[in-house]
Structure formats: C-alpha cells, structure tokens
Amino acid sequence: MAEEDNYVDKNYDKDSLAQKYNIIKDNRYIMEDAIMPIARALKLPIDDVVGIFASHYDGISLYEIHAYIEQAKMGCLGRKVDIDLGLCWLSDFLGIISKNDADLIRKKVVEDTLINKIDYEKALDKGRKLTIALMKE
C-alpha cells in the first residue's frame, strides 16, 4: 500500500509540474512581462526561469502573477527614478527637498511613464525640472 501511495504522489507531482509549465508558457503576460525580462537580466535560459517559477508557485498563484508584475514595474521604476534624479541623496540624506516632495516627483514620473505612456526620458526630464525648482525655493 505504501508503495502505491508513493507512486500516486510522484505522478501527482509530475502532472502538477507539467500543468504549471503549461500555465506559464500559455500566458503571454507572464512570459513577456516576467519570464523573459528575468531571463535576460540574469542571463538564464527561459526554460530555467520557467522551472524556477513553477517550483515557487502553485497553479492558482501563477494566475495572480500579472498583478505582482504590475506592482513590481511601478516599484522598480520608482527606484530607478530615485537613482536617476538623485532623490535619495537630495531627500533622504541631504534634506534639500522634503520626503513628501520626492515621493510626489517619483510618483509623477512613474505615472507618466507607465500610465500616460510618456517616454521615460521625457518624464524624467519633467521630474528633473520639478526637482531643480524645489531645490531653488
């Protein structure tokens, strides 16, 4: 009986893993917005990244990944804005502009880029002008 249970468990695990691979590979958003960028950034084969996702998420969670990806885009872009405009220096360490103003600038650049579909460099330039104006007040 124990041998039969072990056989069932192995088959279930194998089928479950195959189902997760299918969920990932059949979902354009997961592939284009998560798997491929991570594979490029880490210089890993796409199948390796798919395997990592399949081992870390259950089937239901895989369907929720798109929402996580959208949050990650905003968060990561916000960090990039901080670095590109030096907001962490100007606000967090030097206190030249307030944390609230830095947050508003960051939010404006991220929204312009992701929601209003303005080119990042143009949105960043607007943020740069706002930052300079605040520094001169």
Residue 19's pLDDT band (boundaries 50, 70, 90)? confident
On whether the CB atoms of residues 135 and 97 are closer than 8 A, the answer is: yes
Tokens 């579909």 correspond to 117
pLDDT tens-place string over residues 53-81: 998 888 888 888 888 888 888 999 999 99
- With bands split at pLDDT 50, 70 and 90, how would you rate the model's confidence at 9? low
Distance CA 69, CA 61 (A): 12
Q: Chain centroid to CA 41: how far?
A: 12
The pLDDT, as a whole number, for residue 10 is 56
- Read off the pLDDT of residues 90-120 as tens digits, 9 standing for 90 and up: 998 999 999 999 999 999 999 999 999 999 9
Dist CA 26 CA 88 (whole Å): 40
